[in-house]
Structure 1
Amino acid sequence: MPTPILYDCDPGHDDAIALVMAHRSPDIELLGVTTTCGNAELEKTTDNAIRVLDFVGASDVPVAAGCARPLARPLVLGTADGPSGLEGSPYLPKPSRGPLKQHAVDFLAEKLAASPDPLLVVATGPLCNIGLLVLKHPHVLPKVKELIWMGGVFYRKSEIITPTEFNAFCDPEALKLVLDARVPITMIGLDVTMQVLIEAPQYKELAAIDTPLGRVAMDWLKFYEKLHRNSMGVGGAMHDPLALALAIDPTLVRTRPAHIGVDLSGSYTFGATVADFWHDRGEEDNARIAYDVDADRFFKLMFDLLR
């Protein structure tokens, strides 16, 4: 039986590929998509989600728009995906429909409450919607089987890893709300996602997928690579597709429990996620974090689904 999931995102080139994977995987039943601000303003990320879903024949998947700004501070947009959030997409049609009239947070609460079993939630943007869910609908939190979130960073393995990851930086108060609510959460941070980079071998494999979807994905990744290549000297990282892939195969990464704190006041590390593995602060574990990934198996899964 496929795993039913709710997907919260801010498309975003890598979110777009994750959306395609979620729709095409026989192991996933995509119950709905909710959108938030982050890589672009909410109206744009919502349009992008609808454009991608319509393009791959998933116009029956409901899309609900959520938070237009972080919960407690002004919106700072991401820069990797261009002004629209999905630049370099000449093949994509304009959105054929609008989002549901229902707010994303109420949509999530309704779906969770109606499900006979707890549901898996995947989130690959700032946690504005999930944080507001904690505040507005705390009664449905026991129906969250697990939250898989692409966010945070925990080890400084090289100079390309910054102290703070964007999704955490954009709305750290929402992240703290979710962590304090003790929702079961697995965090896929930059230290792991930067191990799944699109480089020459991956471009060669993608070029062999001579379909409309293959060409769109190539356009996405070529645009998305620009920031990574110019600023860090590496290809684009598959941050969000890796998080989504765990809904299909959780053995792709290895995780360990920790207590995660969020820096809400640092001048240079604002929004940083700090892992305490040894309970030095006397706090109970509130998350599992990924620390290693089988990159070859991940790319095989991603390309199989894109084919």
Structure 2
Amino acid sequence: MKPTKVILDCDPGHDDAIALLMAHKLPEVELLAVTTVCGNAPLAKTTANALRIMELIGATDVPIAAGCVSPIARPLVLGTADGPSGLDGSPYLPQPTIKPVDMHAVDFLAAVLREAEEPVVLAPTGPLTNVGMFVLKYPELLNRIEKVVLMGGACYRRDEYITPTEFNIFCDPEAAEIVLTSGMDITMVGLDVTMRVVVEEPQYEAIAGINTPLARVVEDWLKFYEKLHRGQMGIGGALHDPLVLAAVIDPEIIETREAHVEIDRTGTHTFGATVADFWGLRGLATNAKVASQVDSEKFFSMFYKSLEM
């Protein structure tokens, strides 16, 4: 079976780093390009992190393009889970010998799509600023995107309510609204599902048992990354972004429900929330497939496989 051609738009980020690793190592994916965006850290840092990660995993042949330095209509509010650098706890990462391409990520995305022999899967794991700007600037190329599988949003049931807002959407809700109204085939993988692929003691034991250089690096990343989760929620680190990559490889790893999704851009306590109408009560056409369940065992098998290579 031919590998799936993927462009990964990200803001590394520990979990973005693992998604990049999986995209490079797993044979089911052909990683065409990486684009970076502000989010977990300012753009200069997320781009530097992407370069360092790709150098570490031996993916120096994959082009990287830096994108938007701020959200479309608001000041940048940084994420907090990954530390000030966006990838704290990784002092051993190499200084990169590779450099980003001399083109803005939005224009580079257009160039890659034009040259691709067939439509490409776009996997955004950070704020949707680059993708939203692409939709506005290059609407004639939207048919070159097979589908968008994004990490963002939250659609909790009443018995599992944690927060109405997820960071990627909160960071740039205008971009998210643009993407959701673009007409593209969109799968939204939100916090209510990614919080079910959590690294706890059994997963740490499995990673330690793999005992490859990459597995040891990832173990260090995860031990730093889980600090926020453990301190605030009493659980290990959730692998939000890697689940998106896994769902690109095997769509059956998640279950989805179709819905019309809108972004709350005015709420005091729900600003940035993804409001999903699963029952068509507002009479609006569906615009996204919203993840509702995950096969966590299948996900971790895929994750471990990437560390063995």
TM-score (norm 1): 0.98
Matched residue of 1:290: which SS?
strand
Q: Which residue of 2 aligns with 1:198?
A: 199
Instruction: Identify the residue that residue 44 of structure 1 maps to in structure 2.
Output: 45
How far residue 304 of structure 1 moved from its aligned partner, in angstroms, is: 0.9
> What is the distance in 2 between the residues matched to 1:44 and 1:216?
19
Q: What's the offset of the Cα at 1:256? A: 1.2
- Maintained 8 Å contact 2:196/2:294: yes
Other-structure match for 1:271: 272
Q: How big is the shift at 1:214?
A: 1.2
Q: Check the 8 A contact 1:16/1:49 in 2, yes or no.
A: yes
Counterpart of 2:238 in structure 1 is 237
Equivalent-residue separation in structure 2 for 1:235 and 1:191 (angstroms): 15
Q: Percent identity?
A: 59
Specify the SS of the correspondent of 1:201: helix
1:87 and 2:88 correspond: yes
CA contact 1:160–1:232 (8 Å) conserved in 2 = no
* Corresponding residue number in structure 1 for 2:289: 288
SS at match of 2:108: helix
Give the unaligned 5+ runs of structure 1: none
- How far residue 159 of structure 1 moved from its aligned partner, in angstroms, is 5.8
How far off is 1:51 after superposition? 0.7
* 1:124 alignment counterpart: 125
| Per-residue Cα deviation, 1:178-232 (whole angstroms, up to 9, x for no partner) | 1111111000000000000000100111111222211110110000000000000
Question: Where do 4+ consecutive residues of structure 1 move more than 6 Å?
Answer: none
**Cα distance in 2 between the residues matched to 1:219 and 1:47:** 19
Aligned AA for 2:150? W
Moved more, 64-73 or 89-98: 89-98
Task: Say if 2:182 is the partner of 1:188.
Answer: no
Give the CA deviation at 1:91: 2.3
In structure 2, C-alpha distance between the alignment counterparts of 1:219 and 1:264, rounded to whole Å: 37
Mark the CA change 1:160 to 1:216 in structure 2 (over 3 Å): closer, same or farther: farther
Structure 2 equivalent of residue 97 of structure 1 = 98
Say how many residue pairs are matched.
307
> What code does the residue aligned with 2:136 have?
L
Paired residues of 1:119 and 1:145 also in contact (CA < 8 A): yes
**How much does 1:70 deviate?**
0.4
Other structure's SS at 1:247 match: helix
Distance 1:212 1:86 in 2: 18
Kept in 1, the 8 Å contact 2:41–2:79? The answer is yes
SS at match of 2:65: strand
Taking structure 2 as the reference length, what is the TM-score of the superposition? 0.97
Which shifted more, 203-212 or 14-23?
203-212
RMSD: 1.0
Q: CA deviation at 1:158?
A: 5.3
* Partner Cα separation in structure 2 for residue 210 and residue 15 of structure 1: 21
- Shift of the alpha carbon at 1:73? 0.2
Task: Decide which moves more: 157-166 or 63-72.
Answer: 157-166
Measure the CA separation in 1 of the matches of 2:67 and 2:193.
Answer: 28
